[in-house]
Amino acid sequence: MWIPSLATMAAMLFLATGEEPENPWKEKVETAVRHAEADPTTAALRAALDTCWRADDWAAGMRLAERVREKHPDDGELRGLAARALWRGGRLADAERLAERLPLRTADTVGCRLQIAIHLSRGEQAEAEEWAQRLERLGPKTADDYYHVFAVRFSAGKLAGLADLVRKAERLASPKNGYPETCLPESIEGVAAFLDAVGPQPLNQIAQYGAAPLTPLVLFNLPACDVLIDGHGPYRMVVDTGGSIMVALDQTLADELGLKSVAQASVRGVSGKQATGQVVVDELRIGTIVARRVMTRTFDVRGAIMNAADGIIGTGIFAQGRMTLDWAGGQLLISRSRDEAGAGTAAELRLVGDAKLIVPALLEGGPAVSLLDTGADVVALAPSCLRRLFPDHEVRTFNAGVGVGVGAGQQTEISLGSGARLVLAGRTFENYGGLGLDALDKTLSPLLGVQIDALLGMPMFRQMKSATVDFPKCKMWVEWLER
């Protein structure tokens, strides 16, 4: 799905808190939940689950979902609502098991949308298309309905007619409807105009597989490559798994190259929201890798990252192939998707939003969701996660006072808590994290539709010899360094 890049980009050590439109559903949660808990009928639970969803009170929604599993395990009316609440709360395996019991012939549009999200996250395009067809047969009625149909077609590279779907979502979206329409308009801002301008040919085409030197970025120690843009360059760009399905290019450089914006949009970063241009780069060369018709955002990237780089490569542009970040050999490799396993230990990967890499993990022995982000030189936990893991420990929050980053008009807040025992892809890390990023709760998780407990940046990747992601098959392998 098309969602503006939100994970830390290049030098950004902290995320924006984001400013959400007023949500009238938040004040209704307490009454609805109290009624459902006192009298857990199907009608009361259905109303409360809907209220919690619209308010994006994912914690209350998960408690209600557990009540459904306890009191109404066979109630088909509640199944989709409960599974959706579990998915939003980061209980991915539980949500998937419950969703498996939804028949394709269902009239439950909530269940259809959830099935689309689950199958897209697992790289199951054909199954996602089946559920999108079912949703269309039922008749899309909400902005979220149209957005999910759009997401399926976009991920398949079927661009014809997509601008009309986006416009239908734009017309229906209103913050009065609550979540996700409190953030959906920003997610699709400028998309229809962009699609009209670029035509129906597939975007982000991998024209040639190959490799490129992958070296640390001066000053920030993030992975970077030299690239040629339409034959010009080389230019230095960060390789960012937490980026997007597009390239971010400095506006001054875009002007020098004669790249004209075809539509306006926006991006959120450490300091708030910032207007951007949208262009298509005809050819991007990274070593011997060649990509064509590359989706690109243009804004003051150099200013945001202290002139350390000219742009950012969101690794989602390689979504049609297999990417290996060969840290030991200092290479970025892009090859064809295939059945053969990569080097190292398999990680249970899910791809959400704009090709964000999320991997289930264990924190203090309990299930958690981690975001793997090479554009961040930090390991951090969501404040909600810190409070859940250590209810007796004080979580102190304060203004970070960071003055660099994308956007303007907002302050960044961080929290300090305890480190946690983390298990990821077969390796255990003691006393990990302890830094809390408020934006994981307030901005990133709502936009991705999955609660992110941990942001794992380059300190995690530096423990690896290599990391391989096969995007179409939604598979990942981690080759750990010897301890």
Interval 80-95 mean pLDDT: 97
At 20 the pLDDT is 58
Contact partners, residue 307, CB within 8 Å, separation at least 6: none
In 3D space, the residue among 275, 255, 280, 257 whose CA is nearest the CA of residue 265 turns out to be 275
In 3D space, the residue among 265, 244, 262 whose CA is nearest the CA of residue 196 turns out to be 262
Q: Domain 345-480, what architecture? A: Beta Barrel (2.40)
Confidence band (pLDDT; 50, 70, 90) for 218? confident
Q: How far apart are the first and last CA of the chain?
A: 38
What pTM was estimated for this model as a whole? 0.92
- Count of residues making up the chain: 483
At 414 the pLDDT is 77
Burial 436-474 (b: 16+ CB within 10 A, else e): bbbbbbbbbbbbbbbbbbbbbbbebbebbbbbbbbbeeb
What integer best gives the mean pLDDT of the chain?
90
Outline where 238-288 has alpha helix (H).
251-256
Give the long-range contacts of residues 92-97, CB within 8 A, separation 24 or more.
Answer: 92/350, 92/360, 92/369, 92/450, 93/360, 93/367
374, containing H or E segment: none
3-state secondary structure of 224: strand
Cα–Cα distance, 200 to 46 (Å, whole number): 41
Residue type, 203: L
Cα–Cα distance, 68 to 42 (Å, whole number): 9
Convert the pLDDT of each residue in 428-470 to its tens digit: 999 887 788 888 998 899 999 999 999 999 999 999 999 999 9
Domain 26-198 classification at class level: mainly alpha
DSSP class of 217: P
Question: CB–CB of 120/151 below 8 Å?
Answer: yes
Cα–Cα distance, 359 to 318 (Å, whole number): 19
Q: Domain 205-336, what architecture? A: Beta Barrel (2.40)
Residue type, 453: D
Confidence band (pLDDT; 50, 70, 90) for 248? very high
Q: Where are the domains of the chain?
A: 26-198, 205-336, 345-480
Higher per-residue pLDDT: 18 or 184: 184
3-state secondary structure of 461: helix
Higher per-residue pLDDT: 15 or 262: 262
Contact partners, residue 182, CB within 8 Å, separation at least 6: 20, 21, 23, 56, 175, 446
In angstroms, how far apart are the furthest CA atoms of the chain?
67
Token pair of 214 as six digits: 């992958």
| Residue 405 pLDDT exceeds 50 | no
Cα pseudo-dihedral 15, 267, 323, 113, rounded to 10: 90
Residue type, 226: D
Cα–Cα distance, 311 to 447 (Å, whole number): 23
At 3 the pLDDT is 31
Cα–Cα distance, 130 to 418 (Å, whole number): 45
Contact partners, residue 110, CB within 8 Å, separation at least 6: 80, 81, 84
3-state secondary structure of 250: strand
The reply to whether domains 205-336 and 345-480 share a CATH topology is yes
